[in-house]
Structure 1
Amino acid sequence: MRIDDQLHIDTPEGARLTLSLAGPLPRALAYGIDLAIRGLALALVAIPLMLFGRGGMGLYLVMLFLMEWFYPVLFEALWQGRTPGKRMMGLAVVHGNGAPLGFNGSLVRNLLRTADLFPMFYLTGFVVMLITRRSQRLGDLAADTLVIHTPPARPARPHQDGDSEAPDWPLSRDDQLVLLAFTDRGARLSAERQEELAALAYPELAPAAAREKLQRVARHVLGGA
């Protein structure tokens, strides 16, 4: 059983984003996997570098520094907030508002790992995670980041049956996203709420007629027949 919390964020668009916060145990396991990967990579390059004497030792120390400080930064910035260890554990780092992690956020949270390590074995980071509401260590607090469980892959969207109708206005990318969101979430909304949303697009129609027309337009965007 996972003893983690859920965080609910209301977006400016009126949608509710639910994030499942990761606790210390899965984060520690992900860190252990990444530590093993870094150790194996350094061990593999250490053997040939020993043949170059002091020059090889100097190069090894440079690689040790880069692996320690930039391994997590590069993976998190370029791989949707995930290192190999986090990916294997189904974790990802995001900003506090649920937005994808950027390079600056990853850099800040990882530069402060030294403070979380004090006095040994991530003791400070572990204690801070236990007492903060969103399971954040010091680096997360400074960068305003969260470690979350990534949701499972969503099943393919079923084919939308029914008539379709081409929109009577040029659809922008944001319009298409709104229509897709309306289709995905429509089953979880009451008919009254669907009619209220549809009235924003077709205020000249009766609520029920506006909902049916918006559904037909959404099916057209999805390629329905």
Structure 2
Amino acid sequence: MSALMLDTYREVITPEGVPLHLPAAGPIPRALAWGIDFAVRVFGLLLMSIPLAFLGDFGQGLYACLMFLTMWAYTIVQEAIWGRTLGKRVLHLRVVAQDGAPIGWMASITRNLLRTVDMLPFGYALGLLSSLFDPHGRRLGDLVAGTVVVHDVAPPFATTLAIDTVLAPPQPLQPAEQAAVVAFAERAPRLSSARQQELATIAGDLTDAQGQVGVLRLYAMANWLLGRR
């Protein structure tokens, strides 16, 4: 029964053993987002076709190129840069890596190119079956790319402390270090202020601060790691 739930929080265990709670999105909001994106692309192509119709064969060739770019680059570029398309933005969805980190170009290209497989034999049938039975609601493209679509809701600490500052780490972080910073931001609201500051002190070399200032800087770095720029 749980495999058929359309929308629910699911705990993801990173390779470092850190639990992250990702509100994975089911097929219904994802389908609505896809519908919005499809409508935007069709409308854009319709607008471009009007002036190109007066350019004869050259206009037809240019329109074919623009159609290819619109249908493929539209999703690849937006998800690689912002983690979501216009449709996902409207539905408050975001594509992230399995560990909750922002996705890159390769993951975006992979998951979008494999839409052709998810569409088989018709109407996204394979993708729908995969998302219904996968514990994280992933279609085949997500499984191969190592991505998951989640509801882009504010994290618990954002509602508790209204932390919206973004701060890039002063140095590259290893995956385990990134996971530790994000895990701190998720768990800190359930800890006392003294315990938060005690944990932040451990990361003093990273934040270059102590006490509450160190806590706030860790929150800001977690925002940056989660792509909330």
Shared fold (TM-score, shorter chain, > 0.5): yes
Shift of 1:217: 3.4
Please show how residues 123-138 of structure 1 align to structure 2 within 5 Å.
123-138=125-140
Q: Distance in 2 between matches of 1:94 and 1:147?
A: 6
Aligned partner of 2:51 in structure 1 is: 48
TM-score after normalising by structure 1: 0.72
Please show how residues 87-126 of structure 1 align to structure 2 within 5 Å.
87-126=89-128
Q: Distance in 2 between matches of 1:190 and 1:156?
A: 13
Q: Give 1:145's match in structure 2, choosing from 118, 141, 147.
A: 147
- Cα deviation 1:43-78 (Å, max 9, x = unaligned): 000000000011101100111111111110000011
Q: Distance in 2 between matches of 1:200 and 1:63?
A: 52
Q: Aligned pair in 2 of structure 1 residues 97, 219: CA closer, same or farther (>3 Å)?
A: closer
Q: Give 2:10's match in structure 1, choosing from 7, 10, 29.
A: 7
Q: Does 2:74 align with 1:76? A: no
The higher radius of gyration belongs to 1
For 1:150, give the aligned amino acid.
D
Q: Does 2:33 align with 1:30? A: yes
Shift of 1:4: 1.3
3-state SS in 1 of match to 2:94: strand
Q: Distance in 2 between matches of 1:152 and 1:101?
A: 18
Aligned partner of 2:211 in structure 1 is: 218
Asked if the contact 2:117/2:126 (under 8 Å) is kept, the reply is yes
3-state SS in 2 of match to 1:120: coil
Q: Distance in 1 between matches of 2:99 and 2:11?
A: 10
Percentage of identical aligned residues? 44
Asked if the contact 1:180/1:218 (under 8 Å) is kept, the reply is no
Question: Which runs of 5 or more residues in structure 2 are unaligned?
Answer: 164-168, 172-177, 204-208, 218-229
Q: Aligned pair in 2 of structure 1 residues 107, 58: CA closer, same or farther (>3 Å)?
A: same
Q: Aligned pair in 2 of structure 1 residues 47, 141: CA closer, same or farther (>3 Å)?
A: same
- Cα deviation 1:83-110 (Å, max 9, x = unaligned): 0000100001011121111000000000
Q: Aligned pair in 2 of structure 1 residues 183, 45: CA closer, same or farther (>3 Å)?
A: closer
Q: Distance in 2 between matches of 1:65 and 1:40?
A: 15
Shift of 1:181: 8.3
Cα RMSD for the two superposed structures: 3.7
Q: Distance in 2 between matches of 1:125 and 1:106?
A: 16
TM-score after normalising by structure 2: 0.71
Q: How many residues align?
A: 194
More RCO (CA 8 Å, sep 6+): 2
3-state SS in 1 of match to 2:210: helix
